[in-house]
């Protein structure tokens, strides 16, 4: 099927391409994903200048741009800072069928929020400030979805 582009007389053939690619994680995110997969441990890192703890860890502090190399383990529990309910469907990119909830969780010991799925909760019962705990995937694959979702404590 072709579509006319405006009234220019030009016709286009709309289509999609799927593109496989590899993304080098670097040493900081490599350690984060490796220990998440192998040990079910969640690492952040601390800025030596401003003292903020980032999860996931970063190469450089986004606040003061200092190189960060001090890792700190944070908890698998935390507080829900904010959330949204996803009700629309986007093919190929969503981890779940809508509707589902995405939240930003400040893990215990961290100063920043981690965006992740919320599970084992009725969407109408989600509240900012609720306590959450990570539920790990049974067969980890070395990515952020090794945390299956966060559930209420």
Residues that bind Zn ion (CB under 5 A): 47, 49-50, 61, 63-64, 66
Q: Give the separation between CA 35 and CA 97, rounded to whole angstroms.
A: 28
Minimum CB distance to Zn ion, residue 50 (Å)? 3
CA distances from 58 to 16, 28, 55, 118 (A): 33, 7, 8, 24
Query: In 3-state terms, what secondary structure has residue 138?
Result: coil
Pairing of strands 53-54, 100-107: unpaired
Residue whose CB is less far from Zn ion, 36 or 47: 47
CB of 53 to Zn ion, least distance (A): 10
Q: Min. distance of Cβ 24 from Zn ion in angstroms?
A: 24
Q: Which is nearer to Zn ion, 50 or 128 (CB)?
A: 50
Report which of 78, 99, 79 is spatially closest to residue 88, judged by C-alpha positions. Answer: 99
Of 61 and 110, nearer to Zn ion (C-beta) is 61
**CA 4 to chain CA centroid, nearest Å:** 39
Smallest distance, Zn ion to C-beta of residue 46, A: 9
Three-state secondary structure readout of 122-135: CHHHCCCCCEEEEE
For the bound state, the minimum distance from the C-beta of residue 51 to Zn ion, rounded and expressed in Å, comes to 7
Nearer to Zn ion, 42 or 47 (CB): 47
Looking at the Cβ atoms of 47 and 147, the one nearer to Zn ion is 47
Beta bridge mates, 44: 72
């Amino acid at each position: 099927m072709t579509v006319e582009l405006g009234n220019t007389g030009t016709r286009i053939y709309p289509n999609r391409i799927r593109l496989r690619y590899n993304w080098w994680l670097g040493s900081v995110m490599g350690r984060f994903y490796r220990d998440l997969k192998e040990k079910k441990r969640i690492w952040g890192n601390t800025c030596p200048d401003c003292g903020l703890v980032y999860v996931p860890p970063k190469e450089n502090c986004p606040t003061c741009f200092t190189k960060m190399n001090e890792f700190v383990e944070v908890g698998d529990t935390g507080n829900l800072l904010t959330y949204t309910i996803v009700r629309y469907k986007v093919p190929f990119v969503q981890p779940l069928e809508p509707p589902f909830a995405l939240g930003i969780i400040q893990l215990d010991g961290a100063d920043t929020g981690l965006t992740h799925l919320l599970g084992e909760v009725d969407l109408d019962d989600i509240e900012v400030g609720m306590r959450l705990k990570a539920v790990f995937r049974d067969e980890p694959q070395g990515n952020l979805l090794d945390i299956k979702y966060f559930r209420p404590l």
